[in-house]
Structure 1
């Protein structure tokens, strides 16, 4: 399917690996010029080279922490007029709520609430002027259901969801959509890190932990960055202009609900 995105410009935050990279690859495949972002310069450079070689599109790499104002400035200098913004950022480390002090709380809110809003504020004037814009926020299944130890990340992402519920309707008349992608258990480095913690706590092998967790998902497997990215690309496409303000679960049926 032609997504109608050839020649569009896309900023994908935290995209040197994992789900962000999956989104960057899918948008590059659709013909977008890509701005990659990450903090590890070596990983970022390797991802840039791989995407350019595979898809033959323009790829700019910006090594920066998107949570900082300097990092955001660098991204926007690399692409002053993006048609697409994919908000993504690492969340606070897994920690019981009793262990969170004020500094940790504020940092978590900056990472997963303040930062995406600041970027949306920066890019939407140009999108309005051009009559087209696609914004996808990578949040989490934890917006819908609790995940132990991720209360800060969950709260910040849920706050972002509520904040943008009104904003997306203000922007809809201008051809701009805002949607949220909610990953469940995706086969990424972050998930594998969780396997290691569980294995240490339970005495199970990594393979046993992986098999047990996959068995608890109705799809009986973990999601992939590739399929996640393709869903993101569709939400950014010309075909998705009538979809806005939605939370799209990608969890293999893990969240048990009818609505």
Structure 2
């Protein structure tokens, strides 16, 4: 399917690896010029070079912490008028809620709530003026299915979801959409790290620990960055202009619900 976004410009946060990288690749396949972001210069440059050479688009590497004002300014200097914004950022590490002090709480909220709001504030009016804008926030399945030890991540991302529910109706008539994509158990470094930790805690093999997690999922497998990215790219397409304010679970059926 032609997504109708060839030539559009996209900022994809935290896109040097993992799910963000999957989104950047899918948008590049659709013909978008992309800004690749991450904190490690080598990873960012490697991903940008690969994307540019493979898909013939402009891929600009920007190695910054997107949670800082300086980092955001660098992204917007590289792409002052983005048509597409993919908000993505690392979440707080797993820990008991009783271990979270004020500093940790503030850091988690800045990463997963304040940062995407700040970026949206800076780009959404330009999108509206040009008559096209697609904003996708990568949150987490824990927004609807809380995970023990990830309370801060869940709370900050749920807060972002509620906050933007009041923003998206203001821009829908100007062809600017805001949607959230909620990954479940995706085959990423973060998931693999959790599996290794769980295996050690239980005294079982890493493969047995991974299989236990796969068995919990109706699809009986982990999701891939490729399928996640393709879903994200569709939400950014010309065909998705009537889809806004949605929370799309990509979890292989893990969360049991009817509505």
Tell me if both proteins adopt one fold, taking TM over 0.5 as the criterion.
yes
Q: Tell me the alpha carbon deviations over residues 133-185 of structure 1, each in whole angstroms, 9 at most, x when there is no partner.
A: 00000000000011010000000000000000010011101110000000000
Deviation at 1:52, TM superposition (A): 1.1
Secondary structure of the structure 2 residue equivalent to 1:123: helix
Partner in structure 2 of residue 203 of structure 1: 203
Partner in structure 1 of residue 13 of structure 2: 13
Question: Does residue 32 of structure 1 match 2:8?
Answer: no
Q: Tell me the alpha carbon deviations over residues 221-244 of structure 1, each in whole angstroms, 9 at most, x when there is no partner.
A: 000000000000000000000000
Secondary structure of the structure 2 residue equivalent to 1:177: strand
Secondary structure of the structure 1 residue equivalent to 2:14: coil
| CA distance in structure 2 between the partners assigned to 1:57 and 1:188 by the alignment | 25
Q: Tell me the alpha carbon deviations over residues 79-116 of structure 1, each in whole angstroms, 9 at most, x when there is no partner.
A: 00000000000001111000000000000000000000
Partner in structure 2 of residue 44 of structure 1: 44
Partner in structure 2 of residue 134 of structure 1: 134
Partner in structure 1 of residue 181 of structure 2: 181
- Runs of 4+ in structure 1 over 2 Å off: none
Question: How many residue pairs were aligned?
Answer: 259
Secondary structure of the structure 1 residue equivalent to 2:249: strand
Deviation at 1:210, TM superposition (A): 0.7
| CA distance in structure 2 between the partners assigned to 1:188 and 1:126 by the alignment | 33
Secondary structure of the structure 2 residue equivalent to 1:34: strand
Secondary structure of the structure 1 residue equivalent to 2:5: coil
| CA distance in structure 1 between the partners assigned to 2:53 and 2:204 by the alignment | 41
Question: Does residue 216 of structure 1 match 2:202?
Answer: no
| CA distance in structure 1 between the partners assigned to 2:7 and 2:45 by the alignment | 22
Deviation at 1:50, TM superposition (A): 1.1
